[in-house]
Amino acid sequence: MSIYYGLHAFLLPKLQGELRTSPFTDAVQYYAKNTISCGTDTSQGIGSDLQCGVMSFVTTFTNIVYSLSVYVNFALAQMSTGVSRLKDLAVGLGDEIGAQNDQLDRIAPKVERADTKIRDQNRQMRHILGK
C-alpha cells in the first residue's frame, strides 16, 4: 500500500464530509476516481511508489482546488450580475421618486388653493342654511 492510498483513504472522507452538502462533492468524487494510477511494480523500489503517490495526491488536490475556484468565480460572477441589476433598479426607483416629488411640488399650491375654496364655500353654505 502506497502513501498516496493512505493519504487518499485518510483525507477523502474528511473532504467529502466537509463538502457533503456543497456542489463540490461531485468534483471531489470525480478526481478521486480519476487520479493518476500507480502501478504495483515493486522493482523500482519504495521511492518511486512514494513519488507516484505524492504526485497523484498533489494532482488530485490541485484539480479539486481548481474546480472549487472555477465554481467560486462562477458564483461571484452571478452575484456581480445580481448586484448590478439591483443597482440599476435602485437608480431607476430614485429617478421615479424624484419625478413624483417634482409633480407633488407643482400641484401642492393648487391643492392648497382648492382646499381653501372648499372651506370657504362650506362656511358660506352653513351660513346660508342657518346652521
Q: Residue 56: CB partners within 8 Å, gap ≥ 6?
A: 4, 35, 36, 37, 38
| Residue range(s) defining the domain that contains residue 14 | 3-129
CB 38 within 8 A of CB 52: yes
According to DSSP H, which parts of 1-45 are helical?
3-18, 25-33
pLDDT at 19: 46
CA angle 78, 71, 79 (to 5 degrees): 15
User: Among the listed ranges 6-15, 107-116, 121-130, which one has the minimum average pLDDT value?
Assistant: 6-15
Residues 11 and 46: their CA atoms lie apart, in Å, by 22
Residues 31 and 51: their CA atoms lie apart, in Å, by 19
pLDDT digits (tens, 9 = 90+) for 15-54: 555 444 455 555 555 555 555 455 555 555 445 555 566 6
pLDDT at 26: 58
Q: Residue 12: CB partners within 8 Å, gap ≥ 6?
A: 28, 32
pTM of the predicted protein model: 0.46
pLDDT digits (tens, 9 = 90+) for 53-82: 666 777 777 888 888 888 888 889 999 999
pLDDT at 62: 82
In which band, very low, low, confident or very high, does the pLDDT at 127 lie, cut at 50, 70 and 90? very high
Q: How many domains does the chain have?
A: 1
In which band, very low, low, confident or very high, does the pLDDT at 4 lie, cut at 50, 70 and 90? very low
pLDDT at 64: 81
Buried b (16+ CB within 10 A) or exposed e, 14-31: ebeeebeeeebeebbeeb
pLDDT at 66: 82
